[in-house]
Amino acid sequence: MKKLWILGVGIIFMAFSSCSTVPLTGRSRLNLVSDEQVLPMAFQAYGEFLTENKGAVLPSSSSQAQRVKNIGNKLIASVKNYMNSNNYGDLIKNYQWEVNVVESKELNAWCMPGGKIVVYTGILPVTKDDAGLATVMGHEIAHAIAGHSAERMSQEMVSQGLGVAGNVALSKNPKTQSIFNTLYGVGTPLVMLKYSRNQELEADRLGLIFMAMAGYNPQNAIGFWERMASASQSSQKPPEFLSTHPSDATRIAQIQRVLPEAKKYYKP
């Protein structure tokens, strides 16, 4: 019992002393892993993904890749400008931004820690236009900027009782690597990380702001998510309380609530 009590106190102390703040939203997040730990793993995993899917990665000269990269570069430039101008520059100083397009029927896109982005061609018909694509990419970039992967890793470490003895500080901690591999599905063709509903809604909010900063009307995000809901109707969805993603109605309702905030950053 005494050991369990000490472990519990240690975890509580660790949680309170290892919090950071999400830019723009101001939410406190648990962060037990540093960029020095996470980014090398992310860069390696991204490289492995591109190697495993070499035949599916579209060449930069293709029209689809050029369009996606152009929109991605606008978003990246706006995010970098905001972060560097508002004392958040340290959070992205080690990012190595990169955008690739992968031929796949998957309705998906993602951004790893450190700015490594992939967009699947399967989602392009649903994005429909540049604003729709900016909605998706802004949302995924927001996951990285908000540190959602590090937060998920930290939660896993707390649940496994790691960090109390100083393991968190070890840059080559094999258990940290194992958690990262579990969350990201390293060695598989798809990234497996799933975020909580609250993190998804936070990424929606930040994504709207980022797309607005890049010159895309955030109002168009509603149309994208409505099209995404229609495209997903053919597959069975679990009830919202069983899913890591919010329901379509919850997501769209929140976007409507935060649109006035995002529009403040929009300059056509």
Strand partners, 109: 119
DSSP string, 89-106: GGGTTT---EEEEE--S-
Which amino acid, 243?
S
Q: Does the annotation mark 240 as catalytic? A: no
- The active-site residue, picked from 98, 140, 156, 202, is 140
Q: Which residue pairs, CB below 8 angstroms and at least 24 apart, start in 94-100?
A: 94/35, 94/39, 95/39, 95/144, 96/39, 96/43, 98/46, 99/68, 99/69, 99/72, 99/73, 100/50, 100/57, 100/58, 100/65
* CA–CA separation, 109 and 114 (whole Å): 15
- Token look-up 């509580």 returns 12
Strand partners, 120: 102
User: Tokens standing for 45?
Assistant: 């995993």
Contact between residue 111 and residue 141 where contact means Cβ atoms under 8 Å apart: yes
* CA–CA separation, 231 and 18 (whole Å): 40
User: Tokens standing for 222?
Assistant: 């509603």
How far is CA 2 from each of CA 5, 162, 258, rounded to the nearest angstrom? 5, 18, 47
**17: CB partners within 8 A, 6+ apart:** none
Q: Which residues are catalytic?
A: 140
